[in-house]
Copies of this chain bind each other. A is one copy, B any other.
Amino acid sequence: MTQGSLIEELAAIVGAENVLTEPDDTAPYLLDWRGRYRGKALCVVRPATTEEVSAVVRVCARAGVAIVPQGGNTSLCGAGIPDESGETVLISLSRLNRIRAIDSANNTIIIEAGCVLQTLQEAAAQAGRLFPLSLAAEGSCQIGGNLSTNAGGVHVMRYGNMRELALGLEVVLPSGEIWNGLRGLRKDNSGYDLKQLFIGAEGTLGIITAAVLKLFPLPQSVATAWMAISTPSAAVRLLGELQGAFGTGLNACELVSDIALGLVLKHIPGAQAPLARSPWHLLVEVSGESEEGVLHAALEGFLEQALKNGAISDAVLAQNSAQARRLWALRENISEAQKIEGLSIKHDLSVPISYIGEFLDRADAALKQAFPSYRIVAFGHVGDGNLHYNQSKPETMENDAFIAAQSQINRIVHDIVNDLGGSISAEHGLGQLKREEILRYKSPLEMEMMRAVKRALDPQGLMNPGKVL
């Protein structure tokens, strides 16, 4: 099949206006959010239904043409960007964005892959329910991408990753066949749990087209506080005390270094420091079913006690939801502020929570010795052991000189992570960014198990080549 006839066949399925080939049209799909990966594609196809996705994949499979699925194009690892061969078909799921059904009694929603996360959050709230996944890109990232990277974010400690939030999937397989696994069941042990294969597979085993997701009761009250603390180890101790006091009512426990906060205050209009500066900060959110005043009083009592025993040096409790949103904006805008500041080398890592302090001590010491001018921007989800541990370019350094150190810095950081039993990709996935790096840390046996799964489900190797494996 010639490329021309392939494009004609695809146009016959989705309409000519949904097969993009002009550089001006395809450009937004071929550059990632961070501007680090630029790819080429034979065309960008925009199917609007699962059946169209299926037909597109069948045509590609018959022609032996590789496929790159893409959602909101917010990957931090280049997972949705094709290689530079220009021989792949990029399938954008953006038009597949309907909410198919909400079942309030079952606390479930059936939603298509191209729906934006924030749209889902809002639809749930309108039905008097909570969809708890929340992360900085929620205004543009899409559900298919959230599932394909097993997205995490700030509420994992209470509600789990995307994997725990998904009850069923609909997937177009590499053959083009549609697997209907859209079951809305909280217990189903009738054979292998096939949906688990596709969650977190970054589009390398099939294309998720729809999902049944869990909803939760809307909490009746929320309380949010910002604390000044001295060290990450103090944050881990506070986490334990917060869990003792609020149990599973603890929604989020976010660590922010003063450098990270400083970048937000510098670059994000309207951002204000909530307290006097301190080496580290902790943003905490609890929710529950007691009246707002009762929960606030409980958190206030906790803060008073922590101030008294020296666990924190200062604290502010949000008095209303607008104040709470402003505190959260300080946390959520760190990535944006870093981007404005200039290039950065990012690490999305996790370690057992008990090792957070040790990790930061060791990594900071090693990097300050090797690269004393590189600013360390550390923040993350202390309740999940997930840190974003980034290096920002020194203001006077050239981009090329800065980036040249990337693999050396990765090596230092990732070796310490590995030594502590951690993961070099906690929530962003591997994409193309960490595909080779992971070979240093996974056993050959584990890599071979992954390849066996890939061969079993995608024997032609057409799904998102060059990602993960």
Q: Is residue A64 within 8 Å, beta carbon to beta carbon, of the partner chain?
A: no
> Is B453 a contact of A455 with CB atoms below 8 Å?
no
Copies of this chain per assembly: 2
Q: Is residue A24 within 8 Å, beta carbon to beta carbon, of the partner chain?
A: no
With A105-B240, A106-B353, A107-B353 as known contacts, state yes or no: A163 contacts B193, CB within 8 Å. Answer: yes
> Is B424 a contact of A245 with CB atoms below 8 Å?
no
> Is B457 a contact of A452 with CB atoms below 8 Å?
yes
What is the 8 Å Cβ interface bit string for chain A, positions 236-257, against chain B (1 contact, 0 not)? 1000100111111100000000
Chain B residues with CB under 8 A of A350 = 185-188
Chain B residues with CB under 8 A of A422 = 185
> Is B245 a contact of A421 with CB atoms below 8 Å?
no
Give the interface segment out of A38-46, A83-91, A176-184, A398-406.
Answer: A176-184
Shortest beta-carbon distance, A312 to chain B, in Å?
Answer: 18
Q: How far is the CA of A199 from the CA of B457 in the complex (A)?
A: 19
Give the interface segment out of A55-63, A117-125, A153-161, A360-368.
Answer: A153-161
> Is B200 a contact of A445 with CB atoms below 8 Å?
no
Q: How far is the CA of A344 from the CA of B355 in the complex (A)?
A: 52
Shortest beta-carbon distance, A176 to chain B, in Å?
Answer: 11
For A129, the closest partner residue in chain B by CB is B243
Interchain CB contact (< 8 A) of A189 among B149, B194, B452: B149
Q: Is residue A28 within 8 Å, beta carbon to beta carbon, of the partner chain?
A: no
Within 8 A of B (CB), among A168-226: 173, 177, 179-181, 183-194, 196-197, 199-201, 216-217, 219-220
For A441, the closest partner residue in chain B by CB is B190
Within 8 A of B (CB), among A365-422: 381, 383-386, 421-422
For A351, the closest partner residue in chain B by CB is B185
Give the interface segment out of A258-266, A327-335, A425-433.
Answer: A425-433
Interchain CB contact (< 8 A) of A438 among B191, B289, B355, B424: B191
Chain B residues with CB under 8 A of A243 = 107, 217
Chain B residues with CB under 8 A of A179 = 443, 445-446, 449
Within 8 A of B (CB), among A278-299: 287-290
> Is B386 a contact of A189 with CB atoms below 8 Å?
no
Please indicate which of the listed interface residues A160, A189, A194, A200 has the most CB atoms of chain B within 10 Å of its own CB: A189
Within 8 A of B (CB), among A140-157: 149-150, 152, 156-157
> Is A105 a contact of B189 with CB atoms below 8 Å?
no
Chain B residues with CB under 8 A of A351 = 185
> Is B354 a contact of A106 with CB atoms below 8 Å?
yes
Interchain CB contact (< 8 A) of A190 among B107, B189, B425, B445: B425
> Is B160 a contact of A160 with CB atoms below 8 Å?
yes
> Is B384 a contact of A186 with CB atoms below 8 Å?
yes
> Is A181 a contact of B248 with CB atoms below 8 Å?
no
With A183-B423, A386-B186 as known contacts, state yes or no: A191 contacts B442, CB within 8 Å. Answer: yes
> Is B187 a contact of A426 with CB atoms below 8 Å?
yes
For A357, the closest partner residue in chain B by CB is B105
Please indicate which of the listed interface residues A173, A188, A428 has the most CB atoms of chain B within 10 Å of its own CB: A188
Interchain CB contact (< 8 A) of A185 among B106, B164, B426: B426
Shortest beta-carbon distance, A115 to chain B, in Å?
Answer: 21
Please indicate which of the listed interface residues A181, A185, A386, A456 has the most CB atoms of chain B within 10 Å of its own CB: A185
Chain B residues with CB under 8 A of A385 = 106, 185-187
Q: Is residue A16 within 8 Å, beta carbon to beta carbon, of the partner chain?
A: no
With A352-B103, A352-B108 as known contacts, state yes or no: A445 contacts B187, CB within 8 Å. Answer: no
Interchain CB contact (< 8 A) of A249 among B245, B288, B353, B423: B288
Shortest beta-carbon distance, A313 to chain B, in Å?
Answer: 22
For A194, the closest partner residue in chain B by CB is B449
Q: Is residue A468 within 8 Å, beta carbon to beta carbon, of the partner chain?
A: yes
For A448, the closest partner residue in chain B by CB is B177
Instruction: Report 7 cross-chain contacts, Cβ distance below 8 Å, ordered by A residue.
Output: A105-B354, A108-B352, A152-B187, A179-B446, A188-B350, A217-B247, A249-B249
Which 5 residue pairs of A and B lie closest in terms of their CB atoms, listed nearest first? A196-B196, A105-B354, A456-B456, A187-B426, A188-B423
